[in-house]
Amino acid sequence: MTTTAASETSDIKDPRLAAEGRRRTEWAERSMPVLRLIRERFSRERPLVGRRLSACLHVTTETANLAVTLQAGGADVALCASNPLSTQDDVAAHLVKDHGIKVFAIKGEDHATYYEHIRAALAHRPELTMDDGADLVGALHMIALNRLDDLAPPVRQWVEGLSGAERRALVGGVAGSTEETTTGVIRLKAMARDGVLQFPVIAVNDSDTKHLFDNRYGTGQSTLDGILRATNLLVAGSTTVVAGYGWCGRGFALRARGAGANVLVTEIDPLKALEAQMDGYRVVPMAEAARVGDVFVTLTGNLHVIRVEHMRAMKDGAILANSGHFNVEIDLDGLKRAAQGPTPVREFVDEWRLDGKRLFVLADGRLINLAAAEGHPASVMDMSFANQALAAEHVVRHGRDLGKDVHRIPRELDAEIARLKLAAMGVAIDTLTPEQQKYLASWEMGT
């Protein structure tokens, strides 16, 4: 188990880090004006009062501002990490010491501790959940379907100690959930298709003010930031292979090209591949890219995008990083069977020897932008977490009218977030004239 400063209501590294966490959280808050406006309204209206809320998110300065906003709205918040390497320990200490929020997260926590923390968030018996990867929702559904063998041991052992009525109450007490990531939304939509989803879920990732900005500009910048912090690599002149051309992939490709890289894109979707080609990138299969790439970055949300046969074809000194949610995009188990290592050479950099060549894997294949850097800039998370806060309010107000399905946040709320963000940036836009409104609504006016 990871060594921690634990109590009945928290499990963090060191409460003495709180002052630094407070300073950094306040710095992030300056770049989050939309969330600030929501927090001010929540403080007045208290739309979440009396609600227990468990969140499984990256514990960062931006998440801290979301947690405080939810608390201002009246929620009783418990927070655990959605990745073992993404927690900022000073932020966790700040939330516990300065706000009394229950936090169960330590950077670098081992597998058992990670799931013990998820267990603690479930033991909060939430009425609302927030996920970044569907770990909480996934566990709740394994409980609902009595698939206890699919639960991690710390969660399974706890659930086995509950009566049948307690298990039903745990799942039945959840009014709804929100999901932050593409990966999580894919899993939840699969649950809905199979008819096993137990409560409504708001797909925050489907909001335009989330995926068009967080995924593209946030992931693009923070992924490059994480790679640079881990390696001190000169990007200019390198050949960088981007696996996946969704919003995250195209954001990183844009940033890598801007830093001077020769960018190759691999894809399985013909439409996205065509977009990448017309955006000026060279699109090739991974087997071809493997032979020429200097840096490989996976951003697909899928399994084993880079496999051992690709690694065997790579040049000596190739660097492999992942910016998809789970550490499954690079086949690390296959690498462990085929190669010698790992040998740590820098913080977040492991050397592997394969067929006489050196391969360098960053952050054990986990999210490089959060493991080696600080995640997305606060300004872009302002919109993502505004969506989370408003989605929680929407579930409380309208959860009974929402079916057991995956829903997007109402478009008017999405547009309002964009309007508030523009206003905070000092950007004014035009409005339709009455004549223009009539023209757009009419079928009679033509050429």
Looking at 371, 394, 409, the residue that finishes a domain is 371
Query: pLDDT class for 444, splitting at 50, 70, 90?
Result: confident
Residue 148 C-alpha from the chain's centroid? 26
Kind and range of the H or E run holding 122: helix 111-123
Do 338 and 385 lie in a common domain? no
Residue 182: what pLDDT?
A: 86
Q: Could you tell me if residue 33 is inside a domain?
A: yes
440 found inside a domain = no
Residue 393 counted as domain residue: yes
pLDDT per residue as tens digits for the range 349-360: 999 999 999 999
Distance CA(319)–CA(297), nearest Å, equals: 9
Residues 84 and 203 in one domain: yes
Task: Specify the pTM.
Answer: 0.90
CA–CA separation, 266 vs 295, rounded Å?
A: 13
- Asked if 90 and 12 count as a contact pair (C-beta separation under 8 A), the reply is no
165 & 293 share domain: no
Q: Check residue 382 and give its pLDDT.
A: 97
For residue 195, what is the DSSP state? T
Rounded distance between C-alpha atoms, residue 303 and residue 2, angstroms: 28
pLDDT classification of 276: cutoffs 50, 70, 90: very high
In terms of residue numbers, what domain contains 326? Answer: 219-371
5 pLDDT higher than 90: no
- What's 297's domain CATH number? 3.40.50.720
Is residue 407, in this structure, part of any structural domain at all?
Answer: yes
Do 339 and 397 lie in one domain? The reply is no
* Total of domains in the chain: 2
Q: Are residues 270 and 306 in the same domain?
A: yes
**Amino acid at site 221:** Q
**86-128 pLDDT, tens digit each:** 999 999 999 999 999 999 999 999 999 999 999 999 999 999 9
Which has the closest alpha carbon to 409: 132, 178, 137, 71? Answer: 178
- The CATH number of whichever domain residue 382 belongs to comes to 3.40.50.1480
Q: What percent of the chain has pLDDT over 90?
A: 93
Question: Largest alpha-carbon pair distance within the chain?
Answer: 73
Residue 372 Cα to chain centre, angstroms: 15
Q: Where are the alpha helices (DSSP H) in 161-296?
A: 164-172, 182-193, 208-210, 219-231, 247-258, 270-278, 286-292
342 cis-preceded (ω within 30 degrees of 0):
yes
Confidence band (pLDDT; 50, 70, 90) for 3?
very low
Same domain, 56 and 185: yes
365: left (phi > 0), else alpha (psi -120 to 50), else beta?
left
